[in-house]
Amino acid sequence: MLLSVVKVPCMSAREIIEELPRLTPAELLEVENRLRELQRRTASVAPDAPVRWGEALLEIAGTAEGLPPDFAENHDHYLHGAPKQ
């Protein structure tokens, strides 16, 4: 399973959005399903509240398993081999 709770530094909504093009189709589908679940939950609690995708993304930020503890800060290093910050 791709998503499970692990204590790692959180990525900003902007960082998450920047990473989306690098996900596989299966991972994108999982993200989409999770966002829709969060959207439904928000709508049931506050039906008139606008959907805020950034807030929904932040709810799943930092939940991927098996990542190094500094992944958020050094994601370019792990994904592309750039020097660590």
Instruction: Give domain status of residue 26, yes or no.
Output: yes
**What is the count of structural domains for the chain?**
1
Instruction: Give domain status of residue 21, yes or no.
Output: yes
The C-alpha atoms of residue 20 and residue 62 are separated, in whole angstroms, by 14
Q: Mention every residue, 6+ apart, whose C-beta is less than 8 A from residue 65.
A: 1, 2, 3, 4, 6
Per the structure block, which two tokens stand in for 31?
A: 């993200």
Domain ranges, residue 67: 13-80
Instruction: Give domain status of residue 44, yes or no.
Output: yes
* DSSP bridge partners of 64: 3
Mean pLDDT, residues 41-65: 73
Q: What are the CA-CA distances from residue 25 to residues 32, 47, 69 (Å)?
A: 10, 30, 25
Identify the DSSP state of 4: -
* Statement: residue 20 has pLDDT above 60: yes
What local confidence, expressed as pLDDT, does residue 6 receive? Answer: 46
* Statement: residue 31 has pLDDT above 70: yes
